[in-house]
Amino acid sequence: MKVFDIPGFPNPLRVRIALAEKGLASKVEFITIDLPAAEHKQPAFLAINPLGTVPVLQLDDGTNISECTAITEYLDNQDGNPVLTGKTPKEKAIIHMMQRRAESELENPIGFYFHHATPGLGAGLQPYKSPEWEGRVEWGNRQREKAVAGMRYFDDVLRSQPYVAGDAFSMADITVYAGLVFAGFAAIAIPEECTALVAWQAKVQERPSVKNPA
């Protein structure tokens, strides 16, 4: 298998943690895509993923799987022991619900803020951004506020259970963790009152898969 990504970025980090959790890192060849230089927007990469996003998992038969949730589902079910995406219908439903909330209430708003209200990744990507419109920066800053509200939401969740989707670590935790990494990069601080979220972050950082992702 091959993974097209760039080390250290939020979504690639999600898949790299999943690979480490499943012990599959040694079975993958990593191919770095230069995002600041807009390599992911060029024809060669668009032939692999027409949406121009990373990461992409390429199987040995040439099948390309993009989107972190889909990639994690595939990896998690290879050994018949899906520890990250749920085993029972109820587990699967709750994990996917919280996974979606982790994206919509935290990771995505941070991305919108970063790309629309800050210089983002620099001039190389400027031609591929949405055209300027009146209020764009203001909208981006509202997304920042939404991300902070998302932090407060997950803090509330984690006050009554050890992990984002319940009693066990799951892909929802991976996404929230990657979202907080992105928040740090974008200079969005966790509110001081979010002590449960901070404690959870410290706990997750001690997992071997997070200390040493693929």
Per-residue pLDDT at 137 = 86
Per-residue pLDDT at 196 = 98
Q: Are residues 98 and 198 in the same domain?
A: yes
Per-residue pLDDT at 124 = 73
- Residue 199 placed within a domain: yes
- Do 75 and 27 touch, CB atoms closer than 8 A? no
Q: Are residues 103 and 185 in the same domain?
A: yes
Per-residue pLDDT at 76 = 98
Low-confidence ranges of the chain (pLDDT < 70): 125-126, 128-133
Q: Are residues 100 and 123 in the same domain?
A: yes
Q: Are residues 131 and 165 in the same domain?
A: yes
3-class state of residue 163 by DSSP: strand
The share of the chain scoring above pLDDT 90, in percent, equals: 87
d(CA 77, CA 83) in angstroms, rounded, equals: 9
Count structural domains, the chain: 2
CATH number for position 56:
3.40.30.10
Per-residue pLDDT at 178 = 98
- Do 61 and 9 touch, CB atoms closer than 8 A? no
Full domain range(s) for residue 31 = 2-76
